[in-house]
Structures are given as C-alpha cells and as structure tokens.
Amino acid sequence: MEANGKYDLEAPLLQPSDCVAVTISQSGLAKSRTAMFKIDGVTCTSCSTSIEEALSALDGVESAVVSPLQGQAVVRYRPKSVSAKTIKETINAMGYQVNDFLDQGIAVFRLRIKGMACTSCSESVEHALSMVDGVKKVMVGLALEEARIYFDPNVTDSNQLINAIEDAGFGADLISFGEDVNKVHLRLEGISSVKDINIIHSSIESIEGVNHVEMDAAECKVTISYDPDLTGPRSLIQSVEEASQGLKIYHASLYVPPSQGEAGRQQEMKSYRNQFVWSCLFSIPVFLFSMVLPMLHPYGNWLSHKVHNKLTIGMLLRWILCTPVQFIIGRRFYLGSYHALRRGSANMDVLVSLGTNAAYFYSMYISLKALTSNSFEGQDFFETSSMLISFILLGKYLEVLAKGKTSDALAKLSELAPEMAILLHLDDEGNVVAENEISTKLLQRNDVLKIVPGSKVPIDGIVIKGQSHVNESMITGEARPVAKKPGDKVIGGTLSENGYLVVRATHVGSETALSQIVQLVEAAQLARAPVQKLADRISKYFVPAVVALAFLTWLGWFIPGEVGAYPHRWIPKAMDSFELALQFGISVLVIACPCALGLATPTAVMVATGKGASQGVLIKGGNALENAHKVKTVIFDKTGTLTVGKPHVVSTMIFSSMSIEELCDIAAAAEANSEHPIAKAVVEHYKKLHEKYGSNRENISEVSDFEVHPGLGVSGSVSGKVVLVGNKKFVQAYNVLVSPKVEDYMMESEQLARTCVLVAVDGMIAGAFAVTDPVKPEAEQVISFLRSMSISSIMVTGDNWATATAIAREVGIERVFAETDPLGKAEKIKEFQWESINTSKEVSALCIRDPRAAFPHFLGTMKGVAVAMVGDGINDSPALVAADVGMAIGAGTDVAIEAADIVLIKSNLEDVVTAIDLSRKTLSRIRLNYVWALGYNVLGVPVAAGILFPFTGIRLPPWLAGACMAASSLSVVCSSLLLQYYKKPLHIQDA
C-alpha cells in the first residue's frame, strides 16, 4: 500500500488552489520560500513594475516577479523577516486584488495544555485555537493533555497560538515544532564569547543537509534540524570540533532534553500534591475544631469561650484557618471559573467556586453577626469550604497520578531500543578496520553495525553478513524467533538470540518502525472517538443544569422550612431552615462533576491503543477503534492474507514446440518488473531451473512495452515477440484461443487449489505454470472463531473461481467472489455495506457448487452492514479505504505509514480477532465509564439534595459530597486502566 505520510494525520489538509501555490524547501521554516498567487487588475507592464518595486522594498523579500499576461506573481521571501500576509496587504493597498491566500505549506505544532479538567475545557481550547487566523486543523486530547495544531506559518506563528490558549485561561508548554523527525541537541564546551557562538553557528550551517540551527548562548546548547540523507549527529559534532582555531578548542556532546510532556505531568503532580498538603495543614485543624473537639468534653470546652459578644474562639480560629485555603490555595478555582465564564462556558471550577464561596461567605456573615450581636445564634460552615477544597485537590492529584499510567504500554514500547550500539569502521574494500561503542542517538543512515548474540538491534536495517535468529516479540508479539540472513530486514528493538549479524542502517532515530509506531499511537490518542460526542453534548448543559438544580434544592428546603411544612425537629441543633437548605444546595453543587464524563472516553482510548500497539495491533484513532466493534462481516483477500503470500511454481506444462528453458526465460522476462507475489514465484522458478541445469546465463532477457494489468497479468515484448502472462480472462481479452488441452490442465490445477498462469507468445498459448501458495496455519481457526463471534467471513480475490473455492473450503469460508480486480473489490465492499447477506445453508451450499449463481441469493433487505476488509496493503488499497475498517496485513519497517485504519504488525490473522475483540472490550469499558460517571450524579445528586433525609435522617455534608465528586473522576480513570490487563481471546501456538 502506498504511504501517505509519516502520520495518517498528515494527509493534505488543503486542496491545491488556482490562486496560490507555496513551495517550502527542505530548509524548513527558517530559510527562503517561494509564493505564487494571482492578482486581479494587472493590465500592463507599468502595473507589474510598480507591484514589483513595492514588494522589493519590503524587508525580507528577496525577489518579486509579476506577469501582466497571466496576472501572476512569484515572490521569494524570508519568513523570519516578512510574512505572506504582509505581502498580500501591500498589494491590496496599491489597489489590486489578491485572490484568497491559501497556503499549501502546513506547519505542525504540538503543545502540552495545562489546566484542562473536562470535555468543556478541551472544547474551549479547540475553539480558541480554531479562531486564530491561519489555523487549519486542531486536535486536542483531554486525557493526553496535548494539542496538535496544523497551521499556515505565513499567517500565524507559535506565539499567537500560545497566546490564544492563555487567553482562554489555560497554560501551554511546547512539546515540538514540526514533526521533529530529524533533530539533534548538542551541548557545547569551550564557549567564552559571542564570537565563538558565531563561529560554531557558521560552521554548522555550512554543512550540506543542515536545515535549521537554533543557538542558546546562555546555556551553551544548540538544536539542529537536518536531512538524514546528507548528514547526521556525528558529522555535526565533528563540524563543531573542526571549527576550533589555534588554542581555542570546541567540544560538542549529545544532549537529550527532558520530555516536555512528562516534565509537565510531574510538575502538575507536584503542584497538586503540595497544594493538598498545605490545604490539609489548615483544613485538618478546622475539621477538628468544628466536628471533633466540641464532642470531647472537657477538652473542647475552650473553643466555646467568647471573644466578643457571641463570637467564640473556635469560630474565630476556623475563620482564620479557612481563609488562606479559600483564597490562596483555592485560587486556581477562581481563575478557572473566570476564564470559563469569560468564554461563555462553565466547568468544574465554576461549581467548586460557587459551592465553597457560598459556604465561606455565609460563614463569614455568621461570624460578623456573632461579633456584633449579643443574642445572635448561628452555625458556621468554614469546615465545609476548607475540607471541600482539600478533597478536590486530593482527587485531582490521584487523577493525574492515574492518568500518567494510561500510557504505560506506550512508554514501555519507547524504551525497547538499546542505548548503545557497536559501530564498525570499514576500509574501501569493506574490511573492518576498527569498531567502537557509541550512543544509539549518534547513529546515521548507512552506518554498519555489529549485533552480537543476546543484544538488541538498535536501528532498522538490512543484514549484510552473518546469520541469527531474532526474537521480534517486543515489536510484533510473535514469540517464535525469526531466522535472519544476508538481505533480510531487521527491526530496531528486537533481540538477536544466537548469532552474529552485521547490519547496514536504513532507518535511524525517529524514522525507525519503533518510533513510528509510537508516533502513530500518540496521534491516535489525540483523535476523538465518535462515542465521545455523547459526553460533549451532555457537558454543554451539565453545569448550568447543576446550578439550577442546586438553587431549586435550596428553595425546596428553605421555603417549606419557613412555612413549617416539615417538622422543626428535622432541623439540626444550632441550625435554622436557611442553613439546612444551604447545606443541601452546596452538596448538590459539588457532588455533580463533569470531569468524570469527559474522561470516560479518552482515557479508555489511550489505554486501548497503547495496549493494542504492545500486542502488535496498531489502531489509528478512536474512530477506527469504535467502528471495529460494529463489524459483522469480514472480507478477506486471498494471496498474502489467507495464504502465506510466498507462492512457488509446482509444475510446468508446455503447449508448443518451445523448450521449457525458453518458456521460463520469456515468462520471467515479462514478470521481472512486476511486484505481484505470483510474478516473483515465476522469476524464482526461472532462477532455480537455471541453477539445476547448470546454465551459464545470469541475466533475464530485456522486456519492452511492459504493462501491468491489475488483477489480470502483464504484457510486453521479449526478443521481438508479444508476450502475455496472466490468467485465462486476460489472454482471452487479447483473442488468444484456449484449447481443451489447456482447459483440462487448468481445471486439474485449480481443483488442487493451485493458480494456473498462462503464457501466450504471439497470440498462441505456449505453456502454463501451476502455482501454489500454502494457506496460513491459523486461517481455519480464525474463521471459526469469527463465526463464534457472530461475524461472517467472505473471500474476495482476483484469482480464478476454482482455486478460490478450494482455498475457501480449506479454511471454512462459505462465500467467495473470485476474478475480481482491485476496483471490483471496493465495489463489492460497498454492496455488502448496504446489503445483508443471506446465510442460509441452502445458499451456502449453492455458493460452493457455483458461487456466481449464488450471488443473487445473497442480497437481502437489511441495510447498513459494517464491513472490515483484511488485505496485504498493496493491491487492496481501494478496498481498504472503502471498508468501514481497513486492516492491513504485512507490516514491515514502514508499518506506521500504512493507509489502513488498523495495521496488523505480525501479519498474523489471529490479530483480526484481537482488533475486533479489543474494540468491543474498549467500547464496553467506555459504556461502563459512563455508568460510573453518570451513576455518581444520578445516585449522588438526589442524596445530596436530601431525598433520604426525611425518612432516614441521612444527609450528605458538602465536604463529603466533594470527596464523592473527586472519587468519580478517579474511578473512571481506574476503570480505564483495567484495560491494561486485556488478553487476546485467540492465541494460536506455532502459527
């Protein structure tokens, strides 16, 4: 399958425009760019000349050319000095009209967002960023606390993006600018002046392949973006040292900056922990003075001593101790409320602020009234305010702690690569002259490395010498070691068990399969699952509804109390009806929290995608994860999916006077340029035949006019002869007669589940090959297990009917569609998406006897069947895209850039079951999370409102309601964490 970028998210966000085309060179954002756009109103040379002069006068514009005939301008400029927006405004100011500026250069900015507590917060961040001019796409992950922003660097910049987030009331820390695929950080030594900085800067910039150099003179550090095809970390370090002059010696060493995401999470945990500790130092004495000591006579009697009038020592101490908790430690809730209300929304901070302020200021009123009155009796609620804030801070601390564990599987995957590698130095003849151990981060493309038994492979590469068995379970989940020999690929992070290997690096650093898997899963964790829309809809009305309900609760207890509608004995001692009603209202405010609802989906998706990746199933986002659980029909390709994908020729038949060597030579020449597995089998058969008979011929004949006919075969001209190699349908399309003898051979081969490849030369059938491709050992069990999951299996293949039916019978598939080209497969999927399959025994039996006759019986009346397509990711691209869930089999080192929704790294069919089952388990967990989140509110709000109080005397104090609110978020995160213990439902040994 064709790659569509290093992230599935990097599909073009803007379509090509007739108005503007902007080219961004490999030099990145720091150097020159060329912008092309149309201008209305340019009618003559004088117009174009005046525009060119005006643009050339702008600082940063290197050249400007305007064509009066085409009305086009080509401007070369430096983005650091001038923006494309300024260029456009300059032209508009001259009275000409520039068409809408749509830049095709998209920059990517990753930020860690601080202060998000619920879905409303993430939506606010997303909305704030979307409103920034030049932003094309925004993805905000609540559980990941990260935003990925795709924007036009000509229109806006990183500072504006961060300012937009801060204006919305949240904090932002840089994670990465661009994809950071090839960037190295160096620490410099020997720097003593600005001159030294300039010398090193110039030395690095002069190296071919260096895109951007960012110097930090204060810290003596430098960050370099580079092209890995042209240079690498060791070359950059060498350039710094070579810049030394005389006694002035410079040194550079690798510097690994701390992970911004992890550092930010640790800082947040530390902040919540410290605030909780400080809050406890004040709140616990308040609680003791209010709820404990007054009940312990005579130890608590001193608290009731009067300070002045009715103001007691206990009341004064509670007021003094509660105030710093309310206004200093609880300051974060005020800020959060202010920013939420300013942007026209409401979140948890609003509820907490309303509840604690109601308790605090009413208590302050009671205290002032007691201070000024000699007869006033009242009960303060200072312990409610302070304890409530303490419990919420504890809940947030535990929540951050738990959320940090949701990406444990991903973190373990990232740590698989070894820290050190053995680098070999070769002479011109390829002989090893030296070796040394260096950091894996210093490796460059085309380095030659030695892998000793028991060590891990540090990079992706190709074996050039030696043999070993490599355990790839840490990447693919396949426990059985895989034999490696010269020419085979190895994956970084895998373990060489018993042999010596010499490997040439092809992918290093962020380009390795391991790194791309991590990047892919991180991107997937940002994608919002459709099921989260429910939480998004609820959260918009949640807080206003809770505030209204709390007010109604207060009225519902206060008014009946004033008119004597309930017995006076219900009112606790030292309280009146207003205070009782206020406590019920505050309890309703604080027990209802939208945080748990917002965390229900993203935390489960994070854990599931990380767990799937660790088991060899890459799920590209919440959308794919959710769609997979709906699948009722799985369509399998045959070659490379149900079969091993390594076909080989088992017999050859001649139907002309041509010799077998000549037939093989012609067929191999035609097939040599094809990537199809059957074509490779024919070429391999040709090579083995010449080895067997000791032929001296080394090269395959040249082919001209070569053409591939997808799903049919290939054609071309070999030694002046027109050659067709393909199936029966293909040769008949060229009016080649298929004799009864050929028909008999084909039928005989197909009944043995072999594919018959015909070779036609100059309009006559010259011979045929019978090719077999063994069925995967696990295929039959997988089909059977899918059937037990109420999922039907169908085969759609380009092979002939007889071979396809034989393979289907072997694996247990009852429905087959053969002789289907790649586009036809996509059409079949669309048919199944809208047509239910009749699975009666009669139709199934008819399908095996004559699949083509059975097809009309399949069409039922049910609509909307969810279909998954499982293919090898090459010829099945249209079908994978058309399916509700595309599953690509056969992931190698480019696994992270496959275009399917789900990538099965192990190329093992059992992971089709794993993907669907994991999806079902995750959706079930999300629903359970919603039960936890909504259950707390559905059950807790009535109790907090006092529904049980008239019958049992049970009421929920506000501080206890706050503890329940904190527990709801924690329970949802812990519920999601249980997905870490997910086990595959089907594990086939020695598959």
Amino acid type, 515: S
The C-alpha atoms of residue 382 and residue 509 are separated, in whole angstroms, by 56
The pairs formed by 857-864 with CB atoms below 8 angstroms and a separation of 24 or more are 858/815, 859/835, 860/835, 860/836, 861/836, 862/835, 862/836, 863/834, 863/835, 863/836, 864/833, 864/834
Tell me the two tokens of residue 127. Answer: 């909305």
Asked if residues 898 and 889 have their Cβ atoms less than 8 Å apart, the reply is no
Phi, psi of 705 (to 5 degrees): 55, 35
The owner of tokens 């918009």 is 540
Asked if residues 237 and 252 have their Cβ atoms less than 8 Å apart, the reply is yes
The C-alpha atoms of residue 788 and residue 794 are separated, in whole angstroms, by 15
The C-alpha atoms of residue 728 and residue 756 are separated, in whole angstroms, by 8
Which pLDDT score, from 0 to 100, does residue 277 have? 93
Three-class SS of 366-410: HHHHHHHCCCCCCCCCHHHHHHHHHHHHHHHHHHHHHHCCCCHHH
Identify how many contiguous H helices and E strands the chain contains and give both numbers.
31, 36
- pLDDT by residue (tens digit) across 269-323? 888 899 999 999 999 998 888 878 887 878 888 888 888 888 889 899 999 999 9
The owner of tokens 């299996």 is 793
The C-alpha atoms of residue 982 and residue 962 are separated, in whole angstroms, by 32
Tell me the two tokens of residue 333. Answer: 């809730």
Which secondary-structure segment (H or E) carries 46? helix 45-56
Would you call the peptide bond into 298 cis, given omega within 30 degrees of 0 as the criterion? Answer: yes
Give every CB contact of residue 81 below 8 A, 6+ residues apart in sequence: 59, 60
Tell me the two tokens of residue 111. Answer: 């930020």
C-alpha angle 959-963-964 in degrees, rounded to nearest 5: 115
> What is the DSSP code (8-state) at residue 327?
I
Which parts of the chain sit beneath pLDDT 50? 1-30, 100-104, 179, 836-863, 891-897, 990-991
For the chain, first and last CA: distance in Å? 25
Based on its alpha-carbon atoms, the radius of gyration of the chain, rounded to whole angstroms, reads: 36
What are the Cα distances from residue 986, in Å, to 614, 784, 888, 970?
A: 16, 11, 19, 32
- The predicted model scores a pTM of 0.64
Which pLDDT score, from 0 to 100, does residue 889 have? 78
Instruction: Determine whether 720 is exposed, middle or buried from the number of CB atoms within 10 Å of its CB (0-12, 13-18, 19+).
Output: exposed
DSSP states along 480-513: S-EEE-TT-EE-TT-EE-SSEEEEEEEE-GGGSH
